[in-house]
Structure 1
């Protein structure tokens, strides 16, 4: 990690930062409770319960996004927790944006999320932005592509930085 990145990571709030260790390497996500407090709380609860550990990135589309957070790997699974009320904002969907996946119903987000590879402005205002990748996007770029992905990359461990071992 270069000095600029080390400084950025050191300046993050450990309670509002996720460390996602994937099969391609570490990804650091700055959480945005200012945009989506309910989603951030939910994702931290799931991470602390170990829900995301071992889950695949089942849908990875070149130039668009990598979607994960479904324990079944089918795109239809979620956690046993209730779905979330949408917290849409004007925050743009751009490279590194972490946003919640959902069905056609706005209040159907549960555990699945996606990380944008590039400008995805067509999603703005329709999906809940809850964070941004601040380090390790190069590792996300290495994820195997597909819908569904054959032999997908996985989250090995996701934890809140404040709890990191």
Structure 2
């Protein structure tokens, strides 16, 4: 587990109004193009960073579906405000049932598994933190870690039984449904174009309203891996480095809320889903 010495130093510096930590600039990392998926919607492009450390089998399957054009023309058929936007094929491909996958809700971790800790304890985990930009829950006693259902997470949809995921997926579009942690397979998260996810047509309406016509459901124009696009069409993205001292400083400030705006200080706790991880386009 990553030690919080730097975090403690930065927190002390903030409280003492020391400018040393304040001078640190955001540090960035460049995601592997092989782990970036680009979904094109009528509204624009959405880039998803996949996390193979946490769901290698699902991600391998997901990539194969993307490469085969499986999602071309699929629609978001279950879109609930403040919950999820779910998409997939209207019917099975061909005459055969789609392949089902064994669930990958969490991974085993070693004693020296490093991450940047945010909160301990958390409502749903012994610890929360970040691992390479992904919000994680951690159980040191079980030696397990998992990706949490923060806004913008991409996960595989399934039936009531655990090992029933096929190709349908969802993106969390509002509040963090953390009660889904550890019972779903999370593949990654949206790092660019979340505003387009938020504008996907809602299919769930208020009771008494007319049902939404399926013809108006948001359609996926294309889905591809960033690495397979011509260089001229690739989006050169960088993501905030959550293992950097600058990010630890950011966590300290968000926990202590040193701004004068907070004339009454909130409790010094920090929800991992309330910590935005920045993305930028590298010139």
- TM category (shorter chain) comes to 0.7 to 0.9
Shift of 1:149: 4.9
Query: Which among 102, 115, 131 is matched to residue 171 of structure 2?
Result: 115
Identify which of 5, 9, 16 aligns with 2:35.
16
Out of 64, 69, 86, the position equivalent to 1:45 is 64
Q: Which runs of 4+ in 1 moved over 6 A?
A: none
Does the CA-based 8 Å contact 1:57-1:149 persist in structure 2?
no
Select the structure with the greater relative contact order (CA < 8 A; seq sep ≥ 6).
1
SS at match of 2:79: strand
Match of 1:141 in 2: 198
CA distance in 1, matches of 2:103, 2:64: 18
Q: Residue 120 of structure 1: CA displacement?
A: 1.0
State the distance in 2 between where 1:98 and 1:139 align: 14
Give 1 or 2 for the bigger CA radius of gyration: 2
**What is aligned with 1:162?**
227
Task: Give 3-state SS (helix, strand or coil) of 2:60's partner.
Answer: helix
Deviation of 1:155 (Å): 0.9
SS at structure 1 position matched to 2:200 = coil
String of CA shifts for 1:69-127, please: whole Å, max 9, x gaps.
2x21xxxx455541111000221101010011000010000000000013110111111
Q: Which runs of 5+ in 2 are unaligned?
A: 1-27, 107-145, 205-210, 231-283
In 2, Cα distance between the equivalents of 1:62 and 1:121?
Answer: 16
The 3-state SS of whatever aligns with 1:42 is helix
8 Å CA contact retained: 1:78, 1:112: no
Question: For the Cα contact (< 8 Å) 1:59–1:149, is it kept in 2?
Answer: no
Cα 1:38–1:101, aligned 2, differ >3 Å: closer, same or farther?
same
In the superposition, the TM-score normalised over structure 2's length comes to 0.51
Over residues 23-79 of structure 1, what are the superposed CA-to-partner deviations in whole Å (9 max), with x where a residue is unaligned? Answer: 22110000110110001100100000000011000000000010002x21xxxx455
Contact 1:58 / 1:149 at 8 angstroms: preserved in 2?
A: no
Q: Which runs of 5+ in 1 are unaligned?
A: 1-6
Q: Tell me how far 1:146 sits from its aligned partner.
A: 1.2
Give 3-state SS (helix, strand or coil) of 2:66's partner. Answer: helix
CA distance in 1, matches of 2:92, 2:59: 16
Count of equivalent residues: 152
Matches within 5 A, 1:94-133: 94-117=150-173, 118-133=175-190
What value does the CA root-mean-square deviation take over the aligned residues? 1.6
Relative distance call for 1:45 and 1:138 in structure 2 (3 A) is same
